[in-house]
Structure 1
Amino acid sequence: MSQDTQPEYASLRIEEGIAYICIDVADKSVNTLSTPMTGRFEEILDELQDTPPIEGVVIYSGKAGHFVVGFDINELQELANNPQDILPMLKRGHALAARLESLKVPVVAAIDGTCLGGGLELAMACHARIVTNNKRSKLGLPEVQLGVIPGLGGTQRLPQLVGLQTGLDMILGSKQVDAQKAKRLGLVDDVVHPGILLQVAAETARKLYAAGDWQERHKSSISEYFSNPAEMVNLAAKTPARKLIFNQARELTRKKAGSHYPAPFRAIDAIEAGYRGGFEAGIEAESRAFDELVKTDVARNLINLFFMKQEVDKTSPIPWNTKAYPVDKIGVVGAGLMGAGIAQVAAYQGYAVRIKDVSDESIGRGLQYCKDLIDKLVRRKKISEPMGDVMFGHISGTTEYTGFAQTQMVIEAVFEDLDLKKSIIKDLEERLGDNAIVASNTSTLPITELAKASKRPENLLGMHFFSPVHKMPLLEIIRHPKTSSKAVATALEVGRKMGKTCIVVNDGPGFFTSRVIGAYINEAGWILQEGASIEAIDKAMTDWGFPVGPMKLVDEVGLDVALKAAGTLQDAFSKRWSSPTALKAVAADGRKGRKNKKGFYRYASGEADAVDETVYDLLPGGRERQDIDASVIQQRCWLAMLNECAYCLQEGIVEHPRDIDIGVIFGLGFPPFRGGILRHADSVGLARVAADMTKLAEEFGSRLKPAQIIVDKAEKNASFYA
């Protein structure tokens, strides 16, 4: 057996009649598929033809906790720039899968840990799959999140294994399943302890070999799902049931993704092509779709976003070797929705959490909120019931500061009152250890001002969580001039362990996210005041790609909260920031939005049912609204948002364009398919952006005048991502 060619990708050994293929990409923490990996697999399959008789093949990973996490994203990005290489690469991958399926011995995938994208497609080309009960074992096809679709047969083999409805759901939603669910769905054949994975996989191969029908079973399952329609026996694949399922999938995708994301629709087309014309027709449709999608701007932007998130998730404070303080116990001051939400997310990751509030009733409500969130995880089978009990056991409450002396980090999450937060900081520092970190969950109050109440300002910073905490992925960490790198490192480590995407920003009025969303809402308020309807404003921005429009967003945040933040920003940037009276007039009518079921929308059902027409009675022009072109609304809102991002970069609030783009996408709902607000501005061209903003400023107000950094870059024909 040759061992001198490309051992850095995979190796082959034969023991007791079983050929073991170990995937282990050298110098990488995870395994990915790639053209060199395909070449190495081809060599190994050639070698197997010259070996003594064997009873089976077991494919496994040399990296504990990771099988194969997908196709090499770097190569995928290169393919977009070399489109002539895409179809040959796909054809070569399909040929490799076909060779595995047609081997004269059964092939078993032994999966420990993450098995995603091309990794799962490789495993599905095997005759059986054994997975470990490792909590890191996750299986799925997440390609749609990158603007493409599975390209190595995933659109054909996954529905074959789990059924049409489930296959569509997993591919379109980029859903990952754990080992037990994979077993229930029929995606894997057995779930075992990691210590016996290879043993069970080898035994499975021997049993299949002894039975002698592994290829027939594999081919029959394919033909059951992918033969001609007249021969189909799977009810889900028959007309009219099949037609109904595909129509429903397209309609749900249209509602969720709109017209901006072509990948899920092309995935549906590829799956349907297989059901209509057979496996080979499905593979051809899949390859054609992948080839076309990977060249699109949407795919390029989503792939760039993937890389940006990776960079942000690895970024460390300066100096780079700064180590975090160890944290296993966290205190939370304030048992409201934010405080309780923070507590639940921390407990989910194994932290012991102590919540303080002023009354037993408040503590009780906070603990019940935590319990409700945990129970929801149990109902959705994200965790087991015993795990839920253990998680809830990590959380305790107090009306005093008992138990806080043992915490290494405290996050205060009381309402936005500067004096109250200062008094809490003083109280905490009397009770905490010298190295304990105190973090304020605030959206607008300056951390530098809070630090004036601190005896240890180096250990004080901001941690701005977004509501609801258990759903929103972003965490904005705010450092003031005296915050130590060690404090920042600790906040980053805790935030990342909580599952958050963290950006670190410098202190200033509204920090980064509140400033930017404030500018967006402020401009929408001006458009409302000028006579546009609420529906027109919200529809224009959702059509542009935002998940909700700015007026509905204000209702969700709360008009009282939004106006308080707006007042802070107005005071700080009075020379260039002018606020409309429209939002103040609506708030003065006692409308707080969804929380009191009275805002821009009606909430009879608990959700936003329809616009409340009586709002217009409070506004200039009354119920006679003006027809303002959607493109003008879109341009004014996104450029107002961009301008504030540019000011944040210009003033050093944010130090890297990447952090701005991650912040607006993960925290503020900026459309991911546009790649981020600065990347989108670059694609439009900063010369055009500057000209458009100058024209808008002349027509609608100086607040839209472009920041100097935009003007300077436009004059130099430069970009944010130079």
Structure 2
Amino acid sequence: MNKNLKYFHTEQNTQGIVLIHPSTTDSNTNELDQLEEFIAIALIFLGDPDIKGIIYRNPLSAKETDYKAMYTLASHSDIFEQRLSLLLSKIPDLQQHKPVISIVQNDCLGVSMAAALWGSRRIATREARIGFSESRYGLFPGFGATVLTSRLLDPEKAVPFLTQGTILTAVQAQEAGLIDQVVVDLTEALESAQQYILQNPLLKATMYPLPIHTEAFEASAAIIKKRSNGLIPGIDHCLQMIRDARELSLRDALIQETQHYTKVWNSPEALSMLRTQYYGIREAIRPDTSTGFELKKLGVIGAGMMGSGIAYEGARAGIDVVLKDVDLTQASKGKAYSEKICNKLVQQGIMTENAQQQLLGHIHPTDQMADLENTDLIIEAVFEDKVLKAEVTIESLPYLNEKGFFASNTTSLPISELASVSSKPENFIGMHFFSPVDRMALVEIIRGSKTSDDTLKKALQMTRQFGKIPIVVYDGPAFFTSRIFFNYLLEAITMLLEGIPANEIELQARLAGFAVGPLAVLDEISLSLMLHVYDQLPELHSSQKRCYNYLVKLVTAGRNGRKSGKGFYDYDSVTGKKTIWQDPEITKADHLPAGEQIRKRLLHVISLDSFRCLNEGVLQHPVDGDIGSVLGIGYAVHTGGVFGHIDQVGLPDFVNECQAFAEFGEQWEIPPALKQLADRNFSFYSGFDSNWK
């Protein structure tokens, strides 16, 4: 048979057991073609009375799903659905009469794991990692994965596993019920599989509907729906299939899954999320070894929350960190921050005590600037004050080694101006970390007017060494993420002053897909910090001045945010519970706008200013704006980011809607360049490719 096969090799032993495994390592091979050939081979062998069972390894030659190729296939929706339905309709035939055992190894994710579920039993080697990461990108597990998993697991386990992109170890998967046996290696897996086939020659698989625990399913589904607000089609279709998987026969459920799967692949949300959160991020973290730079000793000046977080991340990457503050007590508190994080990880079983000690051993608190001697990189993370930052820069620069560079962690201060105090401004760069640093993946790297290519490459390399995701922007007032974030907050305050109730603004922000409502965010960062940032801007337009004056009024009244116990919310001093506060001095609008208009204003105002950043050269590539907006400010994930949102709306409609909002302030002024693009019906992307040149 082997000479007639394109993708597979088969071996049959004297006991009537067949082993099927890929014969090609070509990662460009069409996955659907491979799976069609695999199932055809398997059914031929199962029809042979001399064959007792089948053992198969991952039938796909590629290590990971080629989403671009799958998108192309799925775009021909009728043909794709027909082929996939025909393929999946044959899965029940694999699970009847004779044992078919899959061997799960290494990273068995996505379609590879789906194929592993086709058999009647699964044996995993100890190092295997199992899951469906496509759920993170707007899709849901297809190729039978959702149906088969839903029939193996109880709904309360199946729902989060299938919708959240969770990756399990082999042991965790066995405990959940996805894996039947965990063994040491491939040799033991093959031996165990053969033994099982010989001891269990006949199967009695359930092909019919299974009972579903409705209350457990609805409770679990409600949690997921609350997080997504129905904005991510993959989640909605997946939840429907989890229910249907038990209420229909296996064959009918599998065919229905293909219908849902095809629809999701052809949704703009799936394309946008894949483009940003898979391909965009993968390109951003791609290593560049051309610098030959390796960060071994890091100096961090300022042991506040930001500096302490940077020190923790450096130590976690195995880098020696000197954490400097004005006194040793404060610097030691910075190290205690890392100890607190580690203690929690140890309690959760994520980190060993030995690993904790190793990590903490990398952090050296000090009040002596001389301890920064021979550092590869110094990051200053002191308060957002130009004079203070200049002082620590001048004092610490002599301690950099010959090839070292200096970075300022700032949210909005101009990098070129901060670099002016350095004798080597070409070795100066901005690195905007996000708080809390240990949980925020993004680092915004800001290139000053004199920053060299070599320094930029080193900063990118260091960011990747930290395990972070970098975007590169150019200098300008508040750079990119802070600038667009301020517009989000500005629009919320503008609407509040128009008489739109605070609770309605917060509700519509969440329904639009924002991670946190704008007024809640303002309370977290503190209103006085927002005022300080506005003070750093070269000038304010009238809408900004109006909001600035209102913030001054609230701060003067003691409403400075969470830390003061009240801001746009009131905070219970005992429980910490917050309740929205409605300013009694603001008259409620006679005619409240529809929720859709509020949502559009919040989304559009950020995207509009993002285009200004792109047009002005602060951004070089739309995908950087998309990554930065989603990871940095919690922009609606289903859009794929600020430019993905414009494409989903359509640029002509986007411009028309923004023009309709002109009465609300100068923030809605349309750049002439954007109007010209709208006249051409321009899209920032065609599929996965950028159209911006």
- TM-score, normalised with respect to structure 2: 0.89
Counterpart position of 1:676: 641
Counterpart position of 1:126: 119
> d(CA) in 2 for partners of 1:186 and 1:296?
32
Counterpart position of 2:218: 247
Equivalent residue in structure 2 for 1:139, among 127, 130, 137: 130
CA deviation after TM superposition for structure 1 residue 554, in Å? 0.9
> d(CA) in 2 for partners of 1:348 and 1:132?
28
Equivalent residue in structure 2 for 1:188, among 163, 179, 195: 179
CA deviation after TM superposition for structure 1 residue 415, in Å? 1.4
Counterpart position of 1:294: 265
CA deviation after TM superposition for structure 1 residue 297, in Å? 2.8
> d(CA) in 1 for partners of 2:591 and 2:439?
36
Distance 1:164-1:27 versus aligned 2 partners, 3 A rule: same
> d(CA) in 1 for partners of 2:21 and 2:534?
58
CA deviation after TM superposition for structure 1 residue 81, in Å? 2.2
2:55 partner letter: V
1:309 partner letter: G
Counterpart position of 1:91: 85
Residue aligned with 1:436, SS: strand
Q: What do residues 143-172 of structure 1 show as CA deviations (whole Å, max 9, x unaligned)? A: 333333222222233244444322222112
Counterpart position of 2:197: 209
> d(CA) in 1 for partners of 2:374 and 2:121?
50
CA deviation after TM superposition for structure 1 residue 16, in Å? 8.7
Is 1:667 aligned to 2:632, yes or no? yes
Q: What do residues 279-334 of structure 1 show as CA deviations (whole Å, max 9, x unaligned)? A: 33432442332233333333233233345424642568xxx884251123333222
Q: What do residues 413-432 of structure 1 show as CA deviations (whole Å, max 9, x unaligned)? A: 22112222222222332112
CA deviation after TM superposition for structure 1 residue 208, in Å? 0.8
CA deviation after TM superposition for structure 1 residue 708, in Å? 2.6
Is 1:153 aligned to 2:144, yes or no? yes
> d(CA) in 1 for partners of 2:102 and 2:308?
46
Distance 1:258-1:425 versus aligned 2 partners, 3 A rule: same
1:464 partner letter: H
Say whether the 8 Å CA contact 1:272–1:282 is kept in structure 2.
no
Counterpart position of 1:436: 404
CA RMSD of aligned residues (A): 3.2
1:659 partner letter: D
CA deviation after TM superposition for structure 1 residue 504, in Å? 0.5
Equivalent residue in structure 2 for 1:611, among 567, 580, 596: 580
Say whether the 8 Å CA contact 1:12–1:20 is kept in structure 2.
yes
CA deviation after TM superposition for structure 1 residue 655, in Å? 0.5
Equivalent residue in structure 1 for 2:321, among 335, 353, 358: 353
Distance 1:335-1:277 versus aligned 2 partners, 3 A rule: same
Say whether the 8 Å CA contact 2:134–2:141 is kept in structure 1.
yes
Say whether the 8 Å CA contact 2:414–2:478 is kept in structure 1.
yes
2:680 partner letter: K
Is 1:488 aligned to 2:456, yes or no? yes
Say whether the 8 Å CA contact 2:125–2:189 is kept in structure 1.
no
Please give the residue correspondences for 1:453-602 in structure 2 after superposition, counting only pairs within 5 Å: 453-569=421-537, 571-572=538-539, 578-580=545-547, 581-602=549-570
2:580 partner letter: V
> d(CA) in 2 for partners of 1:25 and 1:157?
27
Residue aligned with 2:359, SS: helix
Say whether the 8 Å CA contact 1:80–1:300 is kept in structure 2.
no
Distance 1:379-1:262 versus aligned 2 partners, 3 A rule: farther
CA deviation after TM superposition for structure 1 residue 626, in Å? 5.2
Could you tell which deviates more after superposition, 432-441 or 370-379?
Answer: 370-379
Distance 1:189-1:400 versus aligned 2 partners, 3 A rule: farther
Q: What do residues 106-127 of structure 1 show as CA deviations (whole Å, max 9, x unaligned)? A: 4231411x22121111222234
- TM-score, normalised with respect to structure 1: 0.86
Counterpart position of 2:592: 628
Say whether the 8 Å CA contact 2:151–2:210 is kept in structure 1.
no
> d(CA) in 1 for partners of 2:385 and 2:39?
66
CA deviation after TM superposition for structure 1 residue 543, in Å? 2.0
Say whether the 8 Å CA contact 2:126–2:171 is kept in structure 1.
yes
Is 1:75 aligned to 2:44, yes or no? no
Counterpart position of 1:38: 35
Distance 1:488-1:267 versus aligned 2 partners, 3 A rule: same
> d(CA) in 2 for partners of 1:343 and 1:3?
59
Equivalent residue in structure 2 for 1:57, among 55, 58, 62: 55
> d(CA) in 1 for partners of 2:56 and 2:253?
28
Q: What do residues 472-518 of structure 1 show as CA deviations (whole Å, max 9, x unaligned)? A: 22211111122222222222223234332211011111111111111
Equivalent residue in structure 2 for 1:655, among 612, 620, 629: 620
> d(CA) in 2 for partners of 1:690 and 1:108?
53
Say whether the 8 Å CA contact 1:325–1:486 is kept in structure 2.
no
Could you tell which deviates more after superposition, 161-170 or 467-476?
Answer: 161-170
Distance 1:433-1:192 versus aligned 2 partners, 3 A rule: farther
Equivalent residue in structure 2 for 1:719, among 667, 683, 687: 683
> d(CA) in 2 for partners of 1:477 and 1:357?
24
Could you tell which deviates more after superposition, 54-63 or 158-167?
Answer: 54-63
Distance 1:690-1:62 versus aligned 2 partners, 3 A rule: closer
CA deviation after TM superposition for structure 1 residue 449, in Å? 1.2
Q: What do residues 622-676 of structure 1 show as CA deviations (whole Å, max 9, x unaligned)? A: 4656553134433333332223212111110101111111211111111121232
> d(CA) in 2 for partners of 1:62 and 1:635?
43
Q: What do residues 408-452 of structure 1 show as CA deviations (whole Å, max 9, x unaligned)? A: 223222211222222222233211211112221110111111211
Is 1:265 aligned to 2:236, yes or no? yes
Distance 1:720-1:167 versus aligned 2 partners, 3 A rule: closer
Residue aligned with 2:271, SS: helix
2:145 partner letter: G
Distance 1:321-1:246 versus aligned 2 partners, 3 A rule: closer
Distance 1:123-1:425 versus aligned 2 partners, 3 A rule: same
Q: What do residues 353-391 of structure 1 show as CA deviations (whole Å, max 9, x unaligned)? A: 332222233223222221222222233333344433433
1:383 partner letter: M
Is 1:381 aligned to 2:381, yes or no? no
Say whether the 8 Å CA contact 2:99–2:121 is kept in structure 1.
no
Distance 1:380-1:158 versus aligned 2 partners, 3 A rule: farther
Structure 2 residues without counterparts, runs of 5 or longer: 686-690
Equivalent residue in structure 2 for 1:416, among 384, 389, 411: 384
2:462 partner letter: V
Equivalent residue in structure 1 for 2:105, among 91, 97, 111: 111
Could you tell which deviates more after superposition, 436-445 or 370-379?
Answer: 370-379
2:34 partner letter: M
Say whether the 8 Å CA contact 1:528–1:582 is kept in structure 2.
no
Is 1:176 aligned to 2:178, yes or no? no
CA deviation after TM superposition for structure 1 residue 211, in Å? 1.5
> d(CA) in 2 for partners of 1:109 and 1:84?
33
Distance 1:377-1:646 versus aligned 2 partners, 3 A rule: same
1:200 partner letter: E
Say whether the 8 Å CA contact 1:516–1:645 is kept in structure 2.
yes
- Matched length: 681
Equivalent residue in structure 2 for 1:199, among 184, 187, 191: 187
Say whether the 8 Å CA contact 2:2–2:9 is kept in structure 1.
no
